[in-house]
Structure 1
Amino acid sequence: MDERIKYFVGLDAHKDSVSVAACEASREPARFVGTIGPDVRVLLKLLAKAGDPAQVSVVYEAGPTGYGLYRELCRRGYRCEIVAPSLIPRRPGDRVKNDRRDCARLAELSRAGELKAIWVPDEAHEAMRNLSRAREDAVGMRLKARQQLKAFLLRQARRYPGKTSWTKSHERWIADQRFDHEADRIALAEYQLAVQAAEQRVQRLTIALTKATQEWRFEPVVAALRALRGIDTVSAIGLVAEIGDIDRFSSARQLMGYLGLVPSEHSSGNSIHRGSITKTGNAHARRLLTEAAWSYRFPARLSRNLRDRSESVPEVVRDHAWKAQVRLCSRYAHLSSRGVQVNKVCVAVARELAGFVWAIAHQASPATSSIH
């Protein structure tokens, strides 16, 4: 515990209210101060009563309100931390949960040093993450619009004879459909317009995301990750935006744990039991890695597209990416030959892929490059 800290403040922040509790650096229990509105100026007046901002530590749970409160408190000189709700210790016998108790519990745990703060991105990094997630949402809306159009055609017993949907031939087949009733013709046209608008939205966001990367300090990391099979520009940007500064992970195993790709464990004494993956941490990055792992079901080879993406990266990164491809393709084939379910195979490959992502990103990160 920092000896300069005299007061520990716990906040239970919501959209319309903030509950405040505080405790001193002694062993006295935390006391509930009160509930205020979401205006940060009111909170600052309340914290000013504690004295020098350097002697006050503030902590609150991560939530939908973002990092605005954190940044404002840090600018005013307060030591502020944000903690993940899933990592807050809970008493087994505690069956009463409310805002008053939550903020008091946070203040006491902060004083005891039992809380682990999350990494908070700067405003530029958060902007890239927001743009990446906006594109991800647009892709989801495009998928929904496509499903609605296909469901409409299926209700009319119109089944596409081809194998792959949403190709040019598939779109021509949809455009050639004819209906007797005017209402059906209007419905088809509206579904087509919805799919077209969703596709255009995805394309606009993709262009904006690629353009924004050119001025980003992690652009070398994005370029290096593109040398990996299954990771293109968009997925590389998404991984870097979600993971953040790779140097905060001292090992690849830490990154795997952060992404929730490691097995859960319930062991006691001589009994060891491991279950499914923990699925903790960043779900967006975990999904990107699992999708990339699917491409390793084919034998290892350097396609023309992969060679083009790897031309601008250092030779050591290309060698590492090829080593990753050889190992992961072999790993995928080995697990599949044993009859392991395909989703479990992809998760196992994604876990090892996270290790190669850590190694390549660590070599290309701006901090590491400046050291060398």
Structure 2
Amino acid sequence: MKEFSTEKAQLISGRLLYQSVEASNFRHHQRRAGLGSQKHHQKNKKEVRNFMTVFAGLDVHKKYFHATAMDKSGDILVQEEFPNETEGYDSLLKETGEEVKVAFEATYAWEYVYEELEDRVKEVKLAHPKRTEVITKERIKTDVRASEALANLLRTSWLPEAWIPPKETRKLREKLRRRAYLVWKRTGFKNKIKVDLAKHGIRRDFSYSEEDKEWLRSLDIDSVNDYLDMIVALNKPIERITKKIKKEARVDEGAKLVMTIPGVGPIWGLTITSEIGDIGRFPSSKHLCSYSGLVPSTEQSGSKEVHGSITKEGNKYLRWAAVECAWLHKQHADDTYILRFFKRMAARKSGQTAAVATGRKLLTTIYWMLKRGKEFRPQG
């Protein structure tokens, strides 16, 4: 994993943006002197293909993206807006050629852009959104400046990169996250039924067995019937996806190792390993915990150092899975060093705080299990 200093990012970004402004001023003087005519600009576009490597930064939006392409010396070759669709990427590559390195930020729809480009260009890199905030928080923020700064960072090898999972891992993650979303929705409808029953003064423990579902419908409460219909509808895709995941977990070597931890089943085992990806990209267990956002925030001034709540910056699915597995381990483990740690923490802190701390300890354990290819050892 490549470490990136925020201070260095600010320094280099400021320097690069300054150079970008200077270059713009130079081109402005060229145009005034008659050297930057439209004909000259068109000539530059045609000559892009002659350069060994072109560096392009994309500022991607829902319907369009703005691209800035430059050569090794930082001279801008292309600076245009294109539609965010296949034809737009075709048009960009017609101007840059395929010997181009491309960088763009890891937005919510990054996979579409990546798949459009991965087999057609020299290299595609994903910029870490948090670490490129120094770019996006410029006082004068435009698509042009954002794409130009990304191209500059790529050209100078200062781009703070985000890891791009292999295609199979991306598919597995999507499947697990889709299941998680459907389960969250189903739980929400179950909670709504409890609330509506309480509004009618009905307080009774029940499950969602066929017998209890008949009882719920016999109450003839419209809202309860509607929520129950949604729960029944969600059961089918959840069960179908669950079967597929369990089948995949049985052949995944990493998931099989993680499942040796008491309380961790196929769903959580595969969720953890797919969200971690290649364990080799983490130099230490601390880096993995930091990636999950389970490390305490720290404020330091002089000799004073204060630790606060966890950062919650990083992979929220891995963080969620680690904490849930901590609770499950507490329920199913007999006597392990992880369970003893949970109990010690719970005696001094709240149960939730203990679960979070135990989730971090579990991730540390999982890191070494995957790194060494060893099963869980209850006594450490």
CA separation in 2, counterparts of 1:86 and 1:93?
11
Q: Deviations over 1:157-195 (max 9, x none)?
A: 1111x4xx53659x638716755xxxx455443333322
For 1:252, which of 285, 298, 317 is the aligned residue?
285
- How much has 1:32 moved relative to structure 2? 7.0
Partner of 1:235: 268
Aligned partners of 2:292 and 2:316 also within 8 Å: yes
Partner of 1:120: 164
Aligned partners of 1:266 and 1:273 also within 8 Å: yes
Partner of 1:321: none
Partner of 1:353: 362
Q: Deviations over 1:34-59 (max 9, x none)?
A: 11101234334434434561xx3210
Taking only aligned residues, the RMSD between alpha carbons, in angstroms, comes to 2.9
- How much has 1:210 moved relative to structure 2? 1.8
CA separation in 2, counterparts of 1:130 and 1:159?
38
Residues 1:19 and 2:66 are matched in the alignment? yes
Partner of 1:200: 236
Aligned partners of 1:145 and 1:198 also within 8 Å: no
- State the number of aligned residues: 324
Mark the CA change 1:80 to 1:290 in structure 2 (over 3 Å): closer, same or farther: same
Question: Higher RCO, 1 or 2 (CA under 8 Å, sep at least 6)?
Answer: 1
Query: Normalized against structure 1, the TM-score is what?
Result: 0.78
- How much has 1:92 moved relative to structure 2? 10
CA separation in 2, counterparts of 1:104 and 1:299?
54
Partner of 1:9: 56
1:130-209 equivalences in 2 (<5 Å): 130-160=174-204, 162=205, 166=207, 168=209, 172=212, 175=215, 179=219, 184-209=220-245
Residues 1:263 and 2:304 are matched in the alignment? no
Aligned partners of 1:298 and 1:329 also within 8 Å: no
- How much has 1:212 moved relative to structure 2? 3.9
Q: What one-letter code is carried by the residue in structure 2 that aligns with 1:189?
A: N
Identity of aligned residues (%): 25
SS of aligned partner of 2:163: coil
Aligned partners of 1:293 and 1:349 also within 8 Å: yes
CA separation in 1, counterparts of 2:216 and 2:127?
55
CA separation in 2, counterparts of 1:5 and 1:139?
51
Aligned partners of 2:98 and 2:120 also within 8 Å: no
Mark the CA change 1:280 to 1:200 in structure 2 (over 3 Å): closer, same or farther: same
For 2:305, which of 272, 276, 279 is the aligned residue?
272
Q: What one-letter code is carried by the residue in structure 1 that aligns with 2:239?
A: Q
Partner of 1:35: 81
Aligned partners of 2:293 and 2:311 also within 8 Å: yes
- Segments of 5+ residues of structure 2 without an aligned counterpart are 1-50, 375-380
Q: What one-letter code is carried by the residue in structure 2 that aligns with 1:65?
A: A
SS of aligned partner of 1:43: helix
SS of aligned partner of 2:300: coil
- How much has 1:12 moved relative to structure 2? 0.8
CA separation in 1, counterparts of 2:96 and 2:174?
35
Mark the CA change 1:363 to 1:271 in structure 2 (over 3 Å): closer, same or farther: same
CA separation in 2, counterparts of 1:74 and 1:46?
14
Q: What one-letter code is carried by the residue in structure 1 that aligns with 2:79?
A: V
Partner of 2:43: none
- Segments of 5+ residues of structure 1 without an aligned counterpart are 302-324, 366-372
- How much has 1:144 moved relative to structure 2? 1.6
CA separation in 1, counterparts of 2:65 and 2:121?
20
Residues 1:329 and 2:339 are matched in the alignment? yes
Mark the CA change 1:64 to 1:337 in structure 2 (over 3 Å): closer, same or farther: closer
Residues 1:295 and 2:328 are matched in the alignment? yes
SS of aligned partner of 1:57: strand
CA separation in 2, counterparts of 1:95 and 1:32?
24
Partner of 1:306: none
Q: Deviations over 1:207-257 (max 9, x none)?
A: 12223445x6xx111111111123111111111222212222122111111
Query: Normalized against structure 2, the TM-score is what?
Result: 0.76
- How much has 1:351 moved relative to structure 2? 0.8
Q: What one-letter code is carried by the residue in structure 2 that aligns with 1:341?
A: S
Greater shift in the superposed pair: 43-52 or 188-197: 43-52
CA separation in 2, counterparts of 1:40 and 1:128?
25
Aligned partners of 1:8 and 1:22 also within 8 Å: yes
Partner of 2:35: none
Mark the CA change 1:197 to 1:44 in structure 2 (over 3 Å): closer, same or farther: closer
